[in-house]
Structure 1
């Protein structure tokens, strides 16, 4: 069964802002982005979403256009960056960013989640959806998609970039 991992559309937040679990809205271009995206999506049987509104709004739109219901799954939420939430990446204390870089998988200098914690919950969720009949559209975040695509636990393996409103399909 295929998992279609869709990153939410462009958020209404300044570029370069760390916003992880912060519930930011979507840009004024949401309607145009969502409409363009809809025609590109492969067929799916169900819609699952992160509970954050930037994903839920897109999931609700897609579900409404395809006569599907939406299921929320907290495990699909973005990484919790703790006290870094809402700060510009460039304004974060250098020693904290260095600590994170030196132990990418396990460091939590911000007091939120480690990459390992995000990875564990995301992979647990994806494994559960792989076991279902049919294909699942999962509206989620860049961090979850990076965890799903990472071949190992290195920072380099998690360096995948995916534009807002883009998706990848994972086939078993």
Structure 2
């Protein structure tokens, strides 16, 4: 299977906050811009007009624009960003250095006070991937930075990182990643 996954557009007022599953809005022009990019890519490469999205509006709203243009939209909460629990939506300084240090010292298993661990994110991503690999040859999706990092590591057969320093920098907003799975 080939996975073409774009990161969602930059949300409004997301700078400086811990952004996981907080459902934050995106400028409608940015949503339309990414929808245009995906539609053009699908047309150029003669790909099926089917798009997978998370249930978070920064992904879902792009899918809804594409649905108005004849795409079939498929939603899954398995495509959602890491759940940072009580941290989600908080300003990083409000969370505090001590808690962030605790996370970095237990990077794979830290659960963010009612959220999910990075290991749990990897399990969720792998479950979604297994369904796609067995059913589809090509998949188009709109995802989130942490989710995309996890899927890239799985594509490279890398384990869940134990150290924060082993976690890649996020892909840019609207960036396309192309991954192969067998």
Q: 1:31 to 1:83 in 2, by over 3 A?
A: closer
| Alignment match, 1:132 | 135
| Alignment match, 1:59 | 63
Q: Runs of 5+ in structure 2 lacking a partner?
A: none
Matches within 5 A, 1:20-169: 20-31=20-31, 33-34=33-34, 37-38=37-38, 39-40=40-41, 42-45=45-48, 46-65=50-69, 67-150=70-153, 151-154=158-161, 155-169=164-178
Q: Which has the higher helix share?
A: 2
Q: Aligned Cα RMSD in Å? A: 2.0
Is the Cα–Cα contact under 8 Å of residues 7 and 139 in structure 1 kept in the other structure?
yes
Is the Cα–Cα contact under 8 Å of residues 8 and 173 in structure 2 kept in the other structure?
yes
Question: TM-score normalized by structure 2?
Answer: 0.84
Q: 1:61 to 1:157 in 2, by over 3 A?
A: farther
Q: When the two structures are aligned, how many residues end up with a matched partner? A: 171
Query: For each residue in 1:85-130, what CA deviation from the matched residue of structure 2 results, as whole angstroms up to 9, or x when unmatched?
Result: 1211233122111110001000124331111111110121022112
> What is the DSSP-based 3-state SS (H/G/I as helix, E as strand, rest coil) of the residue aligned with 1:29?
helix
CA distance in 1, matches of 2:176, 2:52: 14
Q: How many angstroms does 1:36 deviate by?
A: 5.1
CA distance in 1, matches of 2:54, 2:35: 20
Q: 1:73 to 1:43 in 2, by over 3 A?
A: farther
Q: How many angstroms does 1:29 deviate by?
A: 3.4
Question: TM-score normalized by structure 1?
Answer: 0.88
